[in-house]
Amino acid sequence: DAGITQSPRHKVTETGTPVTLRCHQTENHRYMYWYRQDPGHGLRLIHYSYGVKDTDKGEVSDGYSVSRSKTEDFLLTLESATSSQTSVYFCAISESNRGTNYGYTFGSGTRLTVV
Amino acid sequence: AQSVTQLDSHVSVSEGTPVLLRCNYSSSYSPSLFWYVQHPNKGLQLLLKYTSAATLVKGINGFEAEFKKSETSFHLTKPSAHMSDAAEYFCVVSDRVKAGTALIFGKGTTLSVSS
């Protein structure tokens, strides 16, 4: 979607190697999220950020770390990739979590394969 | 924590017949609810959202959903299926997390449409 980009779009990596996925936004939104999508599980929240250097864990955070040093960038790192982390990763942004008009915008996804 | 349960993992309909995708939610407070659609190898698209305004919510492409508090349901319907409706559909609830909210996804319902 316009305003949010994920990189890389596809990546194949070996077990045990570190991997970093990047989410970049141009909307100046406060909130950013990382999800993983697996068949039969829908999307599950990994980590989220509510401001620069403010992050917290989601439902499936084990094996993942995140960093947000600038408003526009939210990085997801797999310190030592495992085959169970083969998945499609989606980033999302949200301007406001209050009121009735807030919404979420999703990136196009990163397909990660760990071999 | 909030949660959603999509009652059918797969629904098959014929073109021109009605579509019903069922979703129940669990919430300790008045929830915000969403339906997203994902076409094969594509990103996520918002179909509609309920945020405590009208209980009957109209979305894009002829879809609508009705919020029923007494039944804790938010079923998605469409009067007449089209071939292009074949996709995966996610029922989603907004849950409160630290300093904000995050989307919690159901496991998804795959809709197949036959001619």
Residues of A within 8 A of B44 (CB-CB) are: 43, 90, 106
**Per-residue confidence (pLDDT) for residue A32, from 0 to 100:** 94
pLDDT of residue A100: 45
Residues in chain A where the model's pLDDT stays below 70: 1-2, 96-102
Q: A9-39: per-residue pLDDT in tens?
A: 999 999 999 999 999 999 999 999 999 999 9
CA distances (Å), B30 to each of B21, B27, B36, B50, B51, in order? 22, 7, 20, 10, 9
The pLDDT of residue B67: 94
Q: Is B61 left (phi over 0), alpha (psi -120 to 50) or beta?
A: left
* Closest CB to A50 among B32, B52, B98: B98
Per-residue pLDDT of chain B (115 residues; tens, 9 = 90+): 789 999 999 999 999 999 999 999 998 888 889 999 999 988 899 999 998 778 999 999 999 999 999 999 999 999 999 999 999 999 999 888 877 788 999 999 999 999 9
The region, left, alpha or beta by phi > 0 then psi within -120 to 50, assigned to residue B16 is: left
Tell me what pLDDT residue A54 has. Answer: 94
Contact: A58, B9; criterion CB under 8 Å: no
Q: What is the CA radius of gyration of chain B?
A: 14
User: Between B46, B52, B101, which is nearest A97 by CB?
Assistant: B101
Nearest CA-CA distance, residue A80 and chain B, Å: 26
CA terminus-to-terminus distance, chain B: 41
The string of pLDDT tens digits covering residues B21-47 is 999 999 888 888 999 999 998 889 999
